[in-house]
Amino acid sequence: MAQLRVVVLWHQHQPFYKDLVSGQYRLPWTRLHALKDYYGMVKLLDEFPQVHQTFNLVPSLVTQIQDYVSGEAQDRSCRWRAAGERLDGSGAALCAAIFVSGASGECDWKVSALPELLENFRVQGRRRSGRRSIFRPKTTPTCRCSRRFGWFDEFFLQEKDIAELIRKGRNYTLEDSGW
C-alpha cells in the first residue's frame, strides 16, 4: 500500500495586545493560551514519537510570551488586588468581571468551592455592595485559584504541587493564589 505523507504546520499567532503607550496588556489571551494550549500541544507529541509536526511562532507571540516570563507584562487579571486589601467598587467590579468571564469550563469545576461562589455572585454580585461581599479576603484567593486552574493545560494539572492545590478545593490562601 502506498504511503501518504502529511505535513502538519501549526501557525501560532497572537495579535500584539500590549499598549505601547501605557505598557499594559489590553487582553490576557497570550498568557492564557500559553498556559492552556502552546505547551500542551508540544508536550503531547512525547506520546507519539513517530509523529513530526512544525510549530511556527510569530515574532509578536514570542515577544509577548517573553514579557510574561520576565514578569514585565501585566494585564487586568494580573492586577487583582491582594486578598488582604479592601476592595473598592472599581476593584470589586474588576474582580467580578475576571471571575465570571468564561467560568463554565470543565477545569473550573476542579475547585469544589467554585459553583457556590458563582451562585453567590449571581445572587449578590449585581450590586456593588454584593461584589464587595463576595470578593473579600477569605474568598478572593479561591476565586483567583479557580480562574487560574481553568486555564491550565492538563499536563500542568498533573504536576504534584498543582494537583495538591486542586485537591484542596476551597479555602485557598493568598500564598496559594499568588503565582
Q: Do 64 and 85 lie in a common domain?
A: no
Q: How many helices (H) and strands (E) does the chain have?
A: 10, 2
Query: Could you say which of 21, 45, 78 is where a domain stops?
Result: 78
The per-residue pLDDT for range 22-65, each reduced to its tens digit, is: 888 988 889 888 888 888 888 899 999 988 899 999 999 999 99
Q: Do 27 and 109 lie in a common domain?
A: no
pLDDT value of residue 179: 45
Q: Do 21 and 41 lie in a common domain?
A: yes
pLDDT value of residue 65: 94
Instruction: State the pTM of this model.
Output: 0.69
* Residue ranges, the chain, pLDDT below 50: 81-85, 104, 106-107, 179
Q: Which domain holds residue 23?
A: 1-78
pLDDT value of residue 98: 61
pLDDT value of residue 93: 57
Any idea of the CA torsion for 133, 139, 142, 146, to the nearest 10 degrees? Answer: -10
Q: Do 168 and 85 lie in a common domain?
A: yes
Q: Do 98 and 173 lie in a common domain?
A: yes
Q: Do 99 and 166 lie in a common domain?
A: yes
